[in-house]
Amino acid sequence: MIDIKFLRENPEIVKQNIRNKFQDSKLELVDQVIALDKENREIKQEVEALRAQKNKISKQIGALMAQGKKEEAQQIKEKIAADAARTEELSAREKVVEEEIKRIMMTIPNIIDPSVPIGKDDSENVEVERYGEPVVPEFEVPYHTDIMERFDGIDLDSARRVAGNGFYYLMGDIARLHSAVISYARDFMIDRGFTYCVPPFMIRSDVVTGVMSFAEMDAMMYKIEGEDLYLIGTSEHSMIGKFIDTIIPEEKLPQTLTSYSPCFRKEKGAHGLEERGVYRIHQFEKQEMIVVCKPEESKMWFDKLWQNTVDLFRSLDIPVRTLECCSGDLADLKVKSVDVEAWSPRQKKYFEVGSCSNLGDAQARRLKIRVNGENGKYFAHTLNNTVVAPPRMLIAFLENNLNEDGSVNIPKALQPYMGGKEKLIPKK
């Protein structure tokens, strides 16, 4: 959420930012906020003047009564009563205006970083760099669920009967591989100085609206019926929520946390063949990283975060690339975002396995996450990034480590988490 003072003083910058995000329907919201903000400040001024006047003339009543000037005292009482009614009327209007300002401000997109490429959607995202050499083997790479089935490692039919489409049972070596990747990612981030955390898997509505836009909330979140609780779509939600309405001493920054959680997402809409199986699902597990830091350090942390994901995937012999998200592909709260994509030998292209985002002070402003510094209080900056999210990550792992005989190599880094196994041998 943008600082309303910034919007008031820089309306054209805010409007150009909206145009850069190809959300022209929101342009009128800027003028609406400016008009409401003006009305709100005028209300506050009038209320303050009425209260000051009340304090001043109230003192006259006793003196007038003592002098026997009851009629003049009564006139002042009537004046005070009229002013009180006006104050009450203004206060009620002030509440309505402030709610409307908040509602609109939460739909105006955050100011994007000047380095963000301008584009309408993800088709205009820009490749930044590749890491590792993409390989297409001479043998045919099966669809990922076919690979898993050779190990008796997945049961989609039972999952459909139990929970419907978009769910799965992972079994045997594939389930163990899934857990091994999560455990390895946890230790990888701990070794890089992050504090490990297991957060709540449900959050209240004030946290939901603090960490994401209304459009994202509707598209992603599952609400618990009869409760003010939502299942998290990523642990970032509850991890950033951990700092809601807090004042952090500046010397306690940065806060660097890595968290494990299951994630639950609606994933509305039809999807193509390559997004079936376990690519786009309603439930998955994830290792995440978040940072709460001083504004001047957020750019540095942004680069560190996505590099962590690149390094982890390369340690597992998976080629990846980074992709700069264009303006139209950025969620409204984001200042800048980079996707990490893994190489798919089957598809002969890269696909998304993680996303790193700098949200500036947008989440902090909504959640009231402040820092107590030498020169007073200010809003922190927040960032988040996917460490690893199996089972999607397993697609890249299995395809890139698959041998022609159907066996799967286990990279050295992961072998301690797989009981020392160097290779998985298929059962079929």
Catalogue the active-site residues: 265, 280, 352, 355, 392
How buried is 404 (Cβ within 10 angstroms: 0-12 exposed, 13-18 middle, 19+ buried)? exposed
Q: Are strands 369-373 and 376-379 parallel, antiparallel or unpaired?
A: antiparallel
State in Å, rounded, how far the first CA of the chain is from the last one: 54
The Cα–Cα gap between 142 and 126 comes to 29
- Residue count (the chain): 428
* 8 A C-beta contact, residue 144 and residue 399: yes
At 279, list the tokens: 């690519």
At 8, list the tokens: 């008031």
Q: Closest Cα partner for 125 from 337, 277, 395?
A: 337
DSSP string, 157-185: HHHHHHH-TT--EE-HHHHHHHHHHHHHH
Other Cβ atoms within 10 Å of 135 Cβ, number: 10
DSSP string, 12-53: HHHHHHHHHTT-GGGHHHHHHHHHHHHHHHHHHHHHHHHHHH
* 8 A C-beta contact, residue 370 and residue 222: no
> How many helices (DSSP H) and strands (DSSP E) are in the chain?
13, 18
Q: How far is CA 349 from the centre of its chain?
A: 27
At 251, list the tokens: 């010397």
Q: Closest Cα partner for 108 from 6, 257, 192, 206?
A: 6
DSSP string, 221-261: PEEPTTSS-EE-SSHHHHHHHTTTTEEEEGGGPPEEEEEEE
Q: Please report where in the chains the tokens 């799965």 appear, as a residue.
A: 168
